[in-house]
Structure 1
Amino acid sequence: MRRRLSPEARKLEIVEAAERLLQAKGAGVRVEDVVREAGVAKGTFFLYFPTWDDLLVTLRDRLVAEFDAAYPLPTEVDGPVDWPAVVAWQARAFLDFAAARQGIGQALFHSDFAEHRPLADNGAARIAAVIRAGQEAEAFGPVDPEPTARLLFAAIDDAARALAAGAERAATMAALDELLRRALAPAA
């Protein structure tokens, strides 16, 4: 017999079931798999998520919020910030976060869903904010923050894919660190 749950708790059950399955199996998961895992009827799924993509948007927003909470950006309130170190730390954090969530990451960020429902901020806005703060502190050179951030995020994302495919971590990290350092170096 199913236990009675509040609508929020039932929705969370569905979200968590989908998250577990996508992490384990990647983009091949379907509604039928999620409702079986969550122990709910298909109609219950569609009560909370009118389409499969609506569930994926919820999961993607949840993952982004989890990253933001786990790796908050520093501020100069508590003292000077080493902005080049922040960029390197954020890159490593992203790589570690992506490595721990390969299945779900593939489904949410590198699938047909990601192509037709792109994320407004794929992480580049966070990097652009760090670049602007680093420029204000005179730690970075005079680059245009938004396009530079998009290019750097593309490099970080590609490094994550390379690591997932078996690239050697130390060499990949050294190359990424050097790229970040050179791209943002203060003008000589």
Structure 2
Amino acid sequence: MTDDAERHATKMAKKKAARDKIMATKTDEKGLIIVHSGKGKGKSSAAFGMIFRCIAHDMKCAVVQFIKGGMSTGERDLILSKFTETCSFHTMGEGFTWETQDKSRDTEMAQAAWAKAKELIRDPAHKMVLLDEINIALRYDYVDINEVVTFLTEEKPEMTHVVLTGRNAKEELIEIADLVTEMELVKHPFRSGIKAQIGVEF
């Protein structure tokens, strides 16, 4: 073994020992409150990645879409065609707020989505529930942030994971979350005149 390779092996062995020591202290399990926010792309995509992990492990899960209407997306179509026994999928919104332009209707639909979300979360059979774009509904006060926080902290079953996506996550939600990721926008093809494309955005 060369000196360089030996130094590398020694360094990696020390890193592994340190990592193993840290990992030995991580023994607890709990249902997590997970928030994906920020202006960058990938919030819902990352959340659906976790939903598909649950499906792969045959863990019951559910999706509630707060804003997106009935448009065809890859995730929605795949779940509805192949995995309805494992994952229930509920598209409750009628499109983005700038498309509907009807606050009272948007509020009504968001309230119905929140009622469905609570029903699904309360069912301990669901190991994960994704509340897709709920942060937009919270931002426009279609759903009361205090009610969401109280429900998640007081009524969510202990081992149920809840994932909440969308820009501009409220501070109250970030405060109670176990895992918060902010997607940072560096570049986006939309700024270069490129439209949303199948397989990338939907």
Interval of TM-score (by shorter of Structure 1 and Structure 2): under 0.3
Q: Which has the higher helix share?
A: 1
TM-score (norm 2): 0.24
Q: 1 or 2 for the larger relative contact order (CA 8 Å, sep ≥6)? A: 2
